[in-house]
Chains A and B, each alone.
Chain A
Amino acid sequence: MTQGDRSSARPGSGAAGAPGTPPAEAGDDILIGRPSDGALSEQLLSTTWRPFTGGWKLAFAISGALTLLLFCLITLTVLRGIGVWGNNIPVAWGFGIINFVWWIGIGHAGTFISAILLLLEQHWRTSINRFTEGMTLFAVVQAGLFPLLHLGRPWFAYWLFPYPSAMGVWPQVRSALPWDAAAVTTYFSVSVMFWYLGLIPDLAALRDRGPTRARRIVYGIFALGFCGSVQQWRHYKVAYLLLAGLATPLVLSVHSVVSLDFATTGVSGWHSTIFPPFFVAGAILSGFAMVLVLIIPARRVFQLHNVITPWHFDAMAKMVLITSWIVTYSYIAEIFIAWYSGERYEMYQHLVNRPFGWYGWAFWLMVFCNCVVTQLFWSRRMRRNLTVLFVAALLINLGMWLERFEIIVVSLSRDFLPSAWHLFVPTWVDLGILAGTLGFFGLLFLLFLRLVPFVPVAEMKQMRAELVAGAHQEARP
């Protein structure tokens, strides 16, 4: 590989080439080795037909068992009512809403990578965008379960949508809850459409290259007859860009709307104008952490070291560091504003109850996970150390879960009226449902890894062609 090859691979250096770019190390590239179109297709499509490994089967068995647990506990919750959860008055939101906010936040990094980084022409997103879009879809599935169950009577969920009912009643659209229903269902639908549109060329490739006739027929049906003609690409390209353009404000709106469920109420610790940006930054932080948790093992199992390179980990760790600082700033701003307001309940909530109250340990653990651990990523060596990244990512996921615990449980348990104060303790059903959604998420993800090529093949080939063309241009005087 020539020097020109490597430096052209760095996003930002582009065809013009940055004179004086420092010599890049091996692995400092978004696609190692420039494999041919055929070789890339073979490598990336074959993830769907390679033999199952023992590790995959074990993971599948564990996820399957947890999924079973989830559905048993959902049945229990629906039969007995949400009294089997630890929710009480005043802590009426409990684990259900913590898990909802946590899961939907995790989804955000997927859309961030696939849409926002596409518009910003960050080429490194190509190899991980489908992977993270899959993560988004499955995280939103988990998130969607919770508000549904938390209704207590999930069979009436359709009351949230406007339909001409015989009762003559309409939803109250000035409340944040119907906004939430609209935002989450839109987010899921648009994510599915964006994901499917991106998949079509690769489904067509699987139709043409699949090892068995049955596979070719099934993939052929989903490929819809796509054959890569000029007309098809012409409209496809514009549709893909438009979907990215639409998904960009959408992803920012979803967690903003979720945060409005809190911010529009009067509870101290919730009633804050910083919530929308604070929630979005936290969502992207937890999402990038989840991407790292999933992609480090997947890359190893499927031997994708040439397409998911240290460069990608470096870039993702930088995103973790940036969003972690936005979150840290928000924590500080919340505490400062509470003090500056001079309001008794606000000051008590932020200066006494959160750090030193009954749940003080959760606050300090959250600060450790979300603000302290991430500081490791100032170091380039740490950004590229997969063990450090993996452990840090797990801790950040824990930290972001605790942040929602902090916002929901800790705020509600110390309401305005001291006589109403009540602590919250989760029941085994709460913990089982949380574990169950982790398993269900894992199950869907493991199936996704086997059913479709999780690195976008056509986009990778196109990126490779552009990298090669860029290198030629650079080599010219």
Chain B
Amino acid sequence: MTERARTPPDDQPVVMAEFASGPALLDGIRALRGCGVSRFDAFTPYEVEGLEDLLGVRRSRLSWIVLVVGLIAGGGAYLLQWWINVIDYPLNIGGRPYHSAPAFIPIAFEMTVLFASAAALFSALVLGGLPRLWHPVFEVEGFERATIDRFWLAVGAGDAALDRTRDTAVLEAAGAMRVVWLADPPARPAMPPGGAW
């Protein structure tokens, strides 16, 4: 079954296909890749094992952001404590040293964890393009099951290898329950490489 929706802007998928399971989705990608198509994205209710490998997605850089933020926060907390206790407001407590490194560690550690965690949460959202009020794929009928039990494959605009008749047949042969064309295949060069838009 094929449908026609309205003309999309540049950052839209051109064709989407619905699959009943993760392995079926992987089969669909392999079949279409066999025809030379390369700009894939997928929408799944949970992470599908093997999907990232198949699409050649690199590991997220998020860990580096978290590391840097954590180190800055921890170092900053230590420096702040040192400045408070040694420079700005030194208190003599039984003659103990003002710069008491062991006593500064708990707060430095807690601040490392606090800011690193916040960095992890917010980076995951921002790198994933969130928050986002609307996404072109939301317009596809039946797409709401992508968070429940359907696995959607999308091929982005700009993939010159797409061919409407051939790819519909290829996807259906690979087990797609539905193939939806959101636009005609003519290539648009606007999509960045790597499958992200």
List residues 66-121 of chain B with CB under 8 A from any CB of chain A: 66, 70, 80-81, 84-85, 88-89, 91, 93, 96, 100, 103-104, 106-107, 109-111, 113-114, 116-118, 120-121
Which segment of A280-288, A411-419, A458-466 sits at the interface? A458-466
Residues of A within 8 A of B195 (CB): 230-231
Determine if A235 and B117 form an interchain contact, defined as CB atoms under 8 angstroms apart: no
Kindly provide the distance from the CB of B99 to the nearest chain A CB, expressed in whole angstroms.
10
Over the window 153-165 of chain B, the binary record of Cβ atoms lying under 8 Å from chain A Cβ atoms (1 yes, 0 no) is: 0000000000000
Question: Interface on chain A toward B: helix, strand, loop, or mixed SS?
Answer: helix
- Whether, in the assembled complex, A332 has its beta carbon less than 8 Å from a beta carbon of chain B, the answer is no
A18 interface contact, C-beta 8 A: no
**Residues in A neighbouring B149, C-beta threshold 8 A:** 36-38, 41, 461
Inter-subunit contact B45/A205 (CB<8 Å):
yes
Q: Cβ of A233 < 8 Å from any Cβ of B?
A: yes
Whether A235 and B60, one on each chain, are in contact in the complex, defined by CB atoms closer than 8 angstroms, is yes
B42 at the interface (CB under 8 A from A): yes
Q: Which residues of B sit under 8 angstroms from A41, Cβ to Cβ?
A: 45, 148-149
What residues on A are CB-neighbors of B120 within 8 Å?
193, 197, 239, 242-243, 246
Among B4-12, B127-135, B173-181, B183-191, the stretch that binds chain A is B127-135
Instruction: Give the residues in chain B near A231, CB-CB below 8 Å.
Output: 41, 127-129, 195-196
* A193 and B117 contact, CB distance less than 8 A: yes
Q: Which of B42, B127, B130 contacts A225 (CB 8 A)?
A: B130
Please tell me the size bucket of the interface on B: 35 or more
Known contacts A170-B88, A230-B42, A239-B124; is A250 also within 8 Å of B113 by CB? yes
Contact of A38 with B147 in the complex, beta carbons under 8 Å: no
Contact of A246 among B81, B106, B117 (CB under 8 A): B117
A38-B149, A174-B93, A227-B137 given as contacts; is B121 within 8 A of A179 (CB)?
Answer: no
- In the complex, A179→B106 CA distance in Å? 6
A3 within 8 A of B: no
A174 near B96 with CB under 8 A, answer yes
Q: A172-B91, A246-B120, A465-B22 are in contact. Are A190 and B81 (CB under 8 A)?
A: no
The answer for the CA separation of A459 and B46 in the assembled complex, in Å, is: 7
Say yes or no: is A189 at the interface (Cβ < 8 Å to chain B): yes
Docked CA distance A236–B124 (Å): 5
Q: In the complex, A197→B122 CA distance in Å?
A: 10
Residues on the B chain within 8 Å of A170, using CB? 84-85, 88-89
Report Cα–Cα, A82/B51, bound state, in Å: 60
Q: Within the complex, what minimum Cβ distance (angstroms) separates B10 from chain A? A: 17
A-B contact pairs, 27 of them (CB 8 A): A37-B148, A38-B148, A38-B149, A41-B45, A169-B89, A172-B85, A174-B103, A183-B110, A193-B118, A224-B130, A225-B134, A226-B147, A228-B147, A229-B42, A230-B40, A230-B55, A231-B127, A234-B60, A235-B123, A235-B124, A238-B124, A239-B62, A239-B124, A243-B117, A458-B46, A465-B46, A469-B49
Other A-B contacts than A174-B100, A231-B196, 4 sampled, CB-CB below 8 A, are: A38-B149, A168-B89, A225-B135, A250-B110
Which residues in B have some Cβ–Cβ distance to A below 8 Å? 22, 40-49, 51-52, 55, 57, 59-60, 62-63, 66, 70, 80-81, 84-85, 88-89, 91, 93, 96, 100, 103-104, 106-107, 109-111, 113-114, 116-118, 120-121, 123-125, 127-135, 137-138, 144-149, 195-196
